[in-house]
Amino acid sequence: MTIPFKPKIILALVFAVLIMTALSFFFFKQIDNIIHSDLYRYGLTFNYGWADQYWNSSNLYLYCQTLALILFGNSLAFFFSHIRNRNTFSSIASTALLFAGAGLSIASIYFVFRTDSIVNYDLYLYGLTFSDEWYTAYLLNYRLMLLLTILPGLLALASAITVYSSTRIVRIIPTKLLNLALIANGILSLALSIVYSSSILTLIGLGLLFWGITFAYVSTSEHVKKVILETTVSSQMAALNHMLKKQGFEGNPIYLPPRYFGNSNTCAVYLQKTGNIQLPSPEMMLENEAGFLFELFENSAAVLMTPPGAELAQLFEKTLETNFNRVDLKYLQQNLPELIVEELEIAQVFEMGLENSTVRVRAVGSIYSNPDTQTGQPSTWSLFGSPLSSAVACSLAKATGKPVMRTSSKIDIKSNSVAEEYVILQN
């Protein structure tokens, strides 16, 4: 699901948050004047017993609102920077500051209620007499201050979600949404149980937290032992390596995008015998390429074949519920690490860096990078790298619509990491 990027709407929301937060200080001042001026004419006697409680609550309210106002202002500055430069850091900073400010604004509601409790209960113990004259003015200012405390928090929260969602593609997974809802409501119930000293809310909060955390870690995913995967894949990779080297194909593989074939799901790799790189033209490709696996070109001087990572790249698309023909490199940079590490658990760490036409990838703890005890090199490795390397190259070719060449690969056996570099060719 993609939320459209509407900077004017987001700016209007943030400006509204700033204005309402600033106005809340005015109504707080009105309430403070009523308590420290008007109520003394209705029998209130000054005493540190109620004054200390009132000052503590009011000061904490002011601290929260002041800090929230500062955070909202800084988030607005970062959002202006994001509008000009469209860089990832400014959008993340703006979102984080809005979330933090919203949290402080919502937390300050407790101190509003605490102040109201002091006025409506404690002050009567110190001689205060009820009267419609002071209570009407107090109630109006109290409700306005409460409204201008709640609304900025909610609007800031909505703005943060909008900024975050409009700068990236959001994948909504129902199970994760349910887990987050259970955990959030559990935390809220526990917080309210502390405020109202309610054992029922405590039990409800603990129950929601238990089931939320349980569902987050319990799944029905199917797993295969790593040794079985290595055994089945390594023999195929060894056979492919032997066949290509026997025929003299030892150059850098070039991954061709689907536009070369007229099929949005086709991804192929082109390999030459000579060191001079000559990109093929779409006219050279097979007219009916559906299901091809291995085809020789130019009197056996080049080969066109289905890469080892083609099926894995299709799994990436299926899991992300998108077609890489419709996305760009930024999308891959944002979504592939989470997909490979958390969703598919192919590697422990996956990083992707973009620099002009060069893409650098680093994978740590990949299931395809364990070294063979005899050779010291990964057993699931070929001229195309590992299946993960090949799948990344296929994804890059589809996202850019241009040929992609894997130019280098460095394997660190000690850290079980692989660093690879891909170049997007201009044809």
Model confidence, pTM? 0.50
CB burial readout 42-60, b (16+ within 10 A) else e: eebeeeeebeeebeebbeb
Residue 324 φ/ψ, nearest 5 degrees: -65, -10
pLDDT at 288: 46
Residue from 352, 327, 330 nearest 340 by CA: 352
Residue from 402, 407, 398, 405 nearest 426 by CA: 402
Handedness of CA 50, 51, 55, 58 (dihedral sign): positive
pLDDT at 373: 45
Residue range 331-368, pLDDT digits in tens: 888 888 888 887 777 888 888 888 888 888 888 887 77
Q: Which residues of the chain have pLDDT under 70?
A: 1-6, 85-88, 165-177, 192, 194-197, 215-242, 245-249, 262-264, 274-301, 369-383, 427
d(CA 394, CA 256): 8
Contacts of 227 (CB under 8 A, 6+ apart): none
d(CA 208, CA 115): 31
pLDDT at 42: 92
Output the six-digit token pair for 174: 């129902």
CA distances from 123 to 49, 112, 118, 119, 305 (A): 10, 16, 6, 5, 84
Residue from 194, 225, 189 nearest 206 by CA: 189
pLDDT at 129: 92
pLDDT at 2: 45
Residue range 281-325, pLDDT digits in tens: 665 565 444 445 556 555 566 777 778 888 888 888 888 888 888
